[in-house]
Chain A
Amino acid sequence: MQPLFVTAYTVVTACGMGKKPLLDALLKQRSSLKSARMIKLDFLTYTGEVESALPEVRDDLKSYDARNARLALAALDCEDGMFRKAVIAAAARYGAERVGVIIGTSTSGIYETELAYQADLSTGMLPEAFDFKHQHAWVATAEFLKKELELRGPCYAISTACSSSGKAIAAGQRMIETGICDAVVVGGVDSMCHLTLHGFHSLELTSEQPCTPLDQDRNGISLGEGAGLLLLEREATVDTSASLVGYGESSDAYHMTAPHPEGAGSAQAMRSALAMAGLQAGAIDYVNLHATGTRLNDQSEMRAMASLFESTTPCSGSKGMTGHTLGAAGAVEAVITLLALEHAFAPGTCGIRHVDSEFNNRVLTEPVQLPDIRYVMNNNFGFGGNNVSLIFAKEATDG
């Protein structure tokens, strides 16, 4: 494949607005999970909620105003608007019609629909500001970003549950390789909502404590919310610190919610990514696992890891810090691997006490320095047995 340059990236999570607070949290291994607050629940669970005030959507795009749009807007404008500036520069270089937008989301603006239904129940009518098409239809956040950034290239959403934004990054690569675009804003956004909290609880997959992925006593997930955006470009810029060198996608063809017991589908996604990048498994310096914290998910993924990697390859999971951001997880965790490349370290696994002894790989309990880090892999797997694995490479900034 044609390697593409990651010329800018940004993130908003429960850890804070931007890359800096996430990097700090990763280095200090500080969890942002707290008892759920935003939505009142009749059961106990921890969540990674974005607590800072989110920016307001501008007047001419008010119809798109939703928590998802605001999370996306925060990602554009945090840390001095660095990401927005990079997109504007790319649009100036290539032309706005040559810059696309592909955004992963699992639930889009369903939170606004939930609130609208509650209002309908109490007042007999939907709130005036509720706009289903521009807030909740699955393409809403992508379309909002396209308009906010005044881009004119192809724009669509990918919604394959928890692999959504990993797949959006892969799709962005194809758009550039085939000459349809020269740059693509890729990533994912998902907000807290009643549906996922109640849904995962009814599937008995939520933990009553902060989740502890990869731990021998792990007992479920903690949900999170956030936005992660990457700018993929055909050409490098002076700010380029990494490139996308491979991706792999597969289906389990096994079960809607349960992973394949041996991780056959996830192993296939990782194998395809390695083949596309032209790398042996031994070349990977760090793997950011999907590691949701449920018994079966982590076991399945670690069996897939063991079938491909030597026991020395460092790997860890991030959801004990941010919560599981669902459709945004692929992008948020891609940002974590990019931070690892840029700052020459591998994050630990927040919340872990005892690594499950069944796992044969080097699960990092704490961050480690990796001065020679070169290639990192990021895994994400979703409902429907939908798998994606990405490989990024460090680009020498001094040329």
Chain B
Amino acid sequence: MDKPSLAVLGTGVSFQNPESALVSSLECGFEWCDMQTELLPPMLRRRTSMATKLAFAAAERACSSANIMPSELPVIFTSSLGEIGVTDKLCSAIAHQQLPVSPTQFHNSVHNTASGYWSIAVGNKHPAMAMAGYHDGFALALLEAWSQLHTIEKTLLLVCYEEIPPQLLLPGNQWIGCASAFVLAAEQPAGENVARLSMPYCDAEMRSDQRYGDQSPALAAMPLLKAVEQNVSGTVQISPAEDGAWFTELSCP
């Protein structure tokens, strides 16, 4: 296949509550989806959010499965709500006039908290993108990866993560806290045969029953993770069909 594509060099996944019934109902069959991370220093581990821990765990696994040093990879972190737990606490403290706010919580509330800590923890001086969509956030991050890998970068790490948001902000939500990560490259590595992705595309007319997005926008990455893991080529839906659905063509070796 001569068409431009992205090579998948490594993947990782993590869940906030890997043993929960909701996660089991996904039937992912992933191994190693817990929250273990070596790269998050113990002091930071105590102080950082679930979102950042999830992102670290998945990112670390993707790098080790690709056998690439994390310090060598530019990163794209995507999350629709990012550090929403910390933000909720700060807004609540402000409403209750519990001032001054915690300076640590304040800087841990920025959307690029996870990508910032990642670059510091692994000593990564490459560009770090922190972006947000909503239901189509994973697909758009893949598009951003595509644009970077066909202009300025050769290899990069993409992390899509979401913690469970507070009920006050999204009443009745049943989100599953999870993260997935992919090490992607513009070129197939020499002597290796790996899975390849086409450019993500949006079909505005296409509707389907993919329901992952209702449980968390980050789950939109799961069908692709699963297809790569199980070596199944074909069209993979990478966003629920809210405002048109996004797809990519996966070619497995």
Contacts and interface: CB of A to CB of B under 8 A. Distances in A.
Interface string B98-126: 01111100111111110111011011111
B132 A157 contact: yes
A152 B144 CA distance: 17
B130 interface: yes
A92 interface: no
A382 B99 contact: no
Q: Which of A118, A143, A167, A383 has the most CB of B within 10 A?
A: A383
A110 B87 contact: yes
Given A126-B168, A199-B107, A42 B129 contact: no
B94 A202 contact: no
A384 B99 contact: no
Contacts of A268: 125
B178 to A, nearest CB: 18
Interface stretch (A11-19, A131-139, A280-288): A131-139
B147 interface: yes
A251 B100 contact: no
Given A199-B101, A249-B127, A113 B132 contact: no
B23 interface: no
A279 interface: no
A220 B87 CA distance: 24
Contacts, number: 188
Given A114-B95, A139-B133, A198-B100, A384 B110 contact: yes
24 contacts: A117-B91, A117-B95, A118-B95, A120-B95, A120-B168, A155-B140, A156-B133, A156-B144, A159-B82, A159-B112, A160-B112, A160-B128, A171-B129, A177-B147, A178-B150, A252-B119, A253-B124, A253-B125, A256-B120, A383-B107, A383-B116, A384-B112, A384-B113, A384-B119
B87 to A, nearest CB: 7
Contacts of B147: 171, 174-175, 177-178, 180
Nearest to A117: B95
Interface in A309-330: none
A32 to B, nearest CB: 25
Enumerate the 3 nearest inter-chain pairs by beta-carbon distance, A residue then B residue, closest first.
A384-B116, A199-B106, A159-B111
Contact of A386 (B91, B128, B133, B143): B128
A305 B73 CA distance: 26
Nearest to A204: B103
A386 B111 CA distance: 12
Contacts of A256: 107-108, 113, 116-117, 120
Contacts of A384: 110, 112-113, 115-117, 119-120, 128, 130
A203 interface: yes
Contacts of A152: 204
Contacts of A249: 127-128
B151 interface: yes
Given A126-B168, A139-B134, A160 B100 contact: no
Contact of A253 (B100, B123, B129): B123
Nearest to A177: B151
Given A138-B81, A174-B152, 18 more contacts: A1-B151, A106-B110, A113-B87, A121-B96, A139-B134, A139-B137, A159-B112, A159-B130, A171-B144, A175-B147, A178-B147, A198-B106, A203-B106, A250-B127, A253-B122, A256-B113, A264-B125, A386-B112
Contacts of B99: 42, 198
A52 interface: no
Contacts of B128: 160, 249, 251, 384, 386
Contacts of A154: 140, 143, 202
A254 interface: yes
Given A139-B132, A198-B94, A268-B125, A161 B112 contact: yes
Contacts of B150: 177-178
A251 B134 contact: no
Interface residues of A, number: 62
Q: Which of B103, B109, B112, B147 has the most CB of A within 10 A?
A: B112
Contacts of A251: 116, 119, 124-128
Given A133-B134, A139-B133, A253-B123, A383 B101 contact: no
A195 B91 CA distance: 7
A188 interface: no
Nearest to A260: B125
B146 interface: yes
Given A121-B95, A126-B168, A202 B106 contact: yes
A347 interface: no
A84 B120 CA distance: 41
A200 B90 CA distance: 13
A20 B97 CA distance: 40
A162 to B, nearest CB: 9
Interface string B7-50: 00000000000000000000000000000000000000000000
A184 to B, nearest CB: 11
A152 B204 CA distance: 9
A156 B138 CA distance: 11
A92 B130 CA distance: 31
Contact of A138 (B80, B106, B169, B199): B80
B215 to A, nearest CB: 15
A357 to B, nearest CB: 30
Contact of A254 (B96, B120, B129, B131): B120
Contacts of A157: 131-133
A228 interface: no
Contacts of A195: 87, 90-91, 94, 101, 106, 109
Interface string A120-150: 1100001000001100111100010000000
B92 interface: yes
Given A251-B128, A253-B124, A138 B82 contact: yes
Interface string A202-242: 11100000000000000000000000000000000000000
